[in-house]
Structure 1
């Protein structure tokens, strides 16, 4: 199907590298086109789920996200259905910088990131937060149900502030040494501080980097909204451990939860 997509978008796969997404749902490859090298990403879903928020996210990001948010520019897209599956092919400008994590969201060793990289991250998060959107990344109804269940305590689930978020800001969606934010499927409104909280949680196995995230993004995290966003992210990631994902994060997440719940 990736070859079919390449033909439809007048692109020719080059090289041998294949970038597979979560559980084989996506496949990306470098391609040659008449306007230069690009990156062809193919998304597969069952035909009845081939559409909606995730399908439209990258196209909406291309339309609405400001230039202060570095990202691969979307050139063309093509959708079709074959049998029981629907497909979305997206042709992007090729990004030459490497992702900081390669095969998973969790950070396992400290990256070498300079001041310019951290400044770009902070600027991008501030810019994303101000983009008006009716897309939803995190729902209040989910928090009402999930936070007491997975945090294991009674908790006020009312979101103190909402803002637009990337929604999946982890180390496999960020590049260096040039800063770029990848994967714009799930962006939308979330508790303010959500992106910073998610990046911090995925850094917990590398204490020096998690401390650096807190230092660089303290203006987001060290606020009532930022602390609530951490509780939201911890809820989601603890829930993921019940499905067998992110198991190594469970202990540091619970330790972070204990700190957040201490009287201030």
Structure 2
């Protein structure tokens, strides 16, 4: 099977489109099989989504990722389809994009509707959310290697949305990397990499996007999307996540720290900085990751600050 998505540069008012050419034998998504939607057939999934949402997906806009597929529709909306294993779906459910629609003061695509189902032979569920189109292209990949051109207005919009999010209430718990964040997870992640003696207890939990990186925001008009994992998290999680995804461009990482200064200067923000550093410096660290040295230096500085009280 050969699937080709036509490459077109996104512009304001258009959908996300990227080049994706996959050549492989047609595979089915079945139980017990390592799932990668970039190479496995999703024809039946797309057909089901079209029938359920009563819409036609545009084939030349299809974007395939490891566990999600997205496409523009004939009614100028965007449909994102995700497959998630049952053990990655917490008790709170799996409706992040839907529940984020009620949040106020945040620049995000409008949510229109969804369909959720489970095939009897899979230990996983499927979910398709239909939203408005993005107002621009994603800023870049999750981890940037070059500085993007962002205006002061863009940074103001980012700050306004993050501040508005943190000021709201939710019973949801964030699931960064599809793992529910808890005090135990924070402590385990930090202690697994840093042996210094300091208290890892989180004092303040606030609503967070929980997957804040450069692939989930648009420019030149700011918008924040992919809300699957949002929920309550330690103060500073979002700021630290964005900083970590910027470290290969030191000037950009510095800008993130300046813009979210109050987060980083808080005790919880320092813990979240170490939490982010633990993912870079931990057992799965890549020796050629350009972020290693800067993450190591920042971790040493933050630990000294935490020990000083």
TM-score normalised according to structure 2 size:
0.75
1:143 to 176, 181, 186: 186
Q: Tell me what 1:74 maps to.
A: 111
The answer to whether the 8 Å contact 2:196/2:303 transfers is: no
RMSD: 2.3
Q: Which moved more, 1:135-144 or 1:216-225?
A: 216-225
Equivalent residue for 1:10, pick from 29, 37, 54: 54
Q: Any gaps of 5 or more consecutive residues in structure 1?
A: none
Q: In the alignment, which residue of structure 1 is the partner of 2:203?
A: 160
- The alignment status of 1:122 with 2:159, answered yes or no, reads yes
Q: For residues 10 and 51 of structure 1, what CA distance do their matches in structure 2 show?
A: 29
Task: Work out whether residues 165 and 208 of structure 2, in 8 Å CA contact, stay in contact via their aligned partners in 1.
Answer: yes
Deviates more, 1:78-87 or 1:205-214: 78-87
The answer on whether the counterparts of 1:6 and 1:40 sit within 8 Å (CA) in structure 2 is: no
- Provide the C-alpha distance between the structure 2 equivalents of 1:245 and 1:18, rounded to a whole number of angstroms: 34
Asked if 2 retains the 8 angstrom alpha-carbon contact of 1:54 and 1:185, the reply is no
Separation in 1 of the partners of 2:202 and 2:150? 32
Q: Which runs of 5+ in 2 are unaligned?
A: 1-44, 175-180
User: Is the CA contact 2:136–2:219 (under 8 Å) kept in the aligned structure 1?
Assistant: yes
User: Aligned residue for 2:22?
Assistant: none
1:256 aligns with 2:298: yes
Residues 128-171 of structure 1 deviation map (CA, whole Å, 9 limit, x = unaligned): 11111121222101123221112233331101322111111111
SS of 1:32's equivalent in the other structure is coil
**Residues 1:50 and 1:155: Cα distance change in structure 2 (over 3 Å):** closer
Q: Secondary structure of the residue that 2:73 maps to in structure 1?
A: strand
Q: Counterparts of 2:222 and 2:58 in 1: how far apart (Å)?
A: 24
Larger radius of gyration: 2
Residue equivalent to 2:143:
106
How big is the shift at 1:248? 4.2
- Looking at structure 2, the residues matched to 132 and 192 of structure 1 have their Cα atoms a distance apart, in angstroms, of 13
| Alpha-carbon offset, residue 225 of structure 1 | 3.0
Residue 125 of structure 2, aligned match among 86, 89, 93: 86
Deviation beyond 6 Å, 4+ runs, structure 1: 243-246
Answer 1 or 2: which has greater helix percent: 1
Q: CA deviation at 1:182?
A: 0.9
Residue 245 to residue 20, structure 1, CA distance change in 2 (3 Å): farther
Are 2:246 and 1:203 equivalent residues in the alignment?
A: yes
> Could you tell me how far 1:114 is from its partner in structure 2?
0.5
